[in-house]
């Protein structure tokens, strides 16, 4: 097996180990949460015998190690368990709660990525090509201002401008099963705009820095001395060699769009997995919280693993330790 194959296998093994460690951390962290689900559901008037019987029905009376292996064994078989919230009526599988919300989050992330990534890369290329120009200074000032503001502040400013002062879109992003694709786009317009502003600001600056670093290389200077057009230098020499850092920042951005949208989903009351996790924490629905946290962690690890592999494949120097 060549060096690239060995490195990819090592990265895959490291990613799998990271997911296992994260599952232990997630399970252990929930064990230390204050309060008890059985006591909170049954109320203060419940007798200790009733609470103990309810805990036994939920499996909370078992040792933590046994419950962890039971949970992770079910996850490996595609079974995320049953929600605690449905125990009083009909047990509801966690997958029925989480998966529709996950698809909503992926829809929001996909629309945002389709808009933000091309715009950010193009702005980064233009800013690097016309470095220190008025355009470069204007774009840098705008992106720095966006990065400096908290996400919820950007969201409320967007709502104030486009849903209150100029009511072009809905302030709340409510989705229903019968909505058409166009209606769904209208419903997610403001969350997409908010996320795009944040993503473009980070990606544009990273793309600009990567391209500027490559433009300082000797072979770029040689291409200029040969009289090659600036755009030809960018597209044929600078961009392919800056692909590794750009792919890394794209992967981080995609991970943020899935993992870091909790605040945005709460602000816009968007029915995504972030909002689901917040509701589950509020209701002490431990199986739902565990599933959401594990999905977040696995998404982040997998996307960064893909970016790492692509960076190694595009830059063979990363295969060898310095």
Residue 265: inside a domain, yes or no? Answer: yes
Kindly give the parts of the chain with pLDDT less than 70. 1-4, 33-46, 86-90, 314-322
SS3 93: strand
Token pair listed for 75: 């996850």
Q: What is the pLDDT of residue 88?
A: 53
Q: What is the pLDDT of residue 119?
A: 92
Residue 245: inside a domain, yes or no? Answer: yes
Residue 99: inside a domain, yes or no? Answer: no
Of 296, 289, 298, the residue nearest 31 (C-alpha):
289
Residue 75: inside a domain, yes or no? Answer: no
Cβ atoms within 10 Å of 248's Cβ, excluding its own: 17
In which residue are the tokens 């502040």 written? 153
Residue 184: inside a domain, yes or no? Answer: yes
Separation between Cα atoms, residue 118 and residue 128, nearest integer Å:
15
Number of domains in the chain: 1
Residue 256: inside a domain, yes or no? Answer: yes
Count Cβ atoms within 10 A of the Cβ of residue 215 and give its class: 0-12 exposed, 13-18 middle, 19 or more buried: buried
Domain that holds residue 275: 106-284
pTM: 0.82
Separation between Cα atoms, residue 296 and residue 259, nearest integer Å:
5
CATH number at residue 220: 1.10.3720.10
Residue 246: inside a domain, yes or no? Answer: yes
Count Cβ atoms within 10 A of the Cβ of residue 46 and give its class: 0-12 exposed, 13-18 middle, 19 or more buried: middle
311-316 long-range contacts, CB within 8 A, separation 24+: 311/244, 311/245, 311/247, 311/248, 312/4, 312/7, 312/8, 312/11, 313/4, 314/240, 314/243, 314/244, 314/247, 315/244, 316/4
Convert the pLDDT of each residue in 195-242 to its tens digit. 998 888 888 888 888 888 887 778 888 888 888 877 777 777 777 777
Asked if 194 and 161 touch (Cβ cutoff 8 Å), the reply is no
Cβ atoms within 10 Å of 301's Cβ, excluding its own: 19
Strands (E), 86-165: none
DSSP state of 320: S
Separation between Cα atoms, residue 57 and residue 14, nearest integer Å:
37
SS3 82: strand
């Amino acid at each position: 097996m060549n060096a690239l194959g060995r490195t990819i296998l090592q990265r895959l093994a490291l990613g799998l180990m990271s997911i296992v460690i994260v599952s232990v951390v997630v399970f252990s962290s929930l064990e230390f949460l204050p309060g008890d689900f059985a006591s909170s559901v049954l109320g203060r008037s419940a007798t200790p015998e009733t609470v103990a019987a309810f805990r036994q029905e939920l499996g909370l009376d078992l040792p933590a190690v046994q419950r962890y292996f039971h949970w992770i064994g079910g996850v490996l078989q595609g079974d995320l368990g049953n929600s605690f919230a449905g125990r009083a009526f009909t047990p509801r599988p966690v997958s029925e709660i989480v998966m529709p919300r996950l698809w909503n989050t992926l829809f929001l992330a996909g629309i945002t990525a389709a808009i933000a990534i091309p715009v950010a890369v193009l702005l980064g290329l233009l800013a690097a090509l016309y470095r220190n120009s008025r355009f470069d200074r204007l774009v840098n000032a705008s992106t720095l201002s966006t990065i400096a503001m908290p996400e919820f502040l950007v969201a409320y400013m967007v709502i104030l401008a486009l849903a209150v002062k100029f009511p072009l879109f809905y302030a709340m992003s409510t989705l229903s099963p019968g909505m058409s694709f166009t209606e769904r786009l209208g419903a997610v317009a403001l969350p997409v705009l908010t996320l795009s502003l944040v993503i473009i600001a980070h990606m544009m600056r990273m793309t600009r820095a990567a391209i500027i670093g490559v433009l300082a290389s000797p072979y770029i200077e040689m291409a200029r001395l040969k009289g090659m057009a600036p755009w030809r230098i960018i597209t044929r020499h600078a961009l392919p060699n800056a692909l590794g850092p750009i792919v890394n920042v794209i992967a981080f951005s995609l991970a943020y769009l899935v993992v870091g949208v909790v605040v945005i989903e709460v602000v816009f009351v968007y029915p995504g997995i972030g909002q689901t996790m917040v509701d589950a924490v509020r209701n002490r629905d431990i199986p739902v919280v565990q599933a959401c946290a594990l999905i977040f962690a696995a998404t982040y690890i997998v996307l960064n693993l893909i970016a790492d592999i692509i960076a190694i494949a595009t830059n063979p120097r990363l295969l060898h330790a310095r």
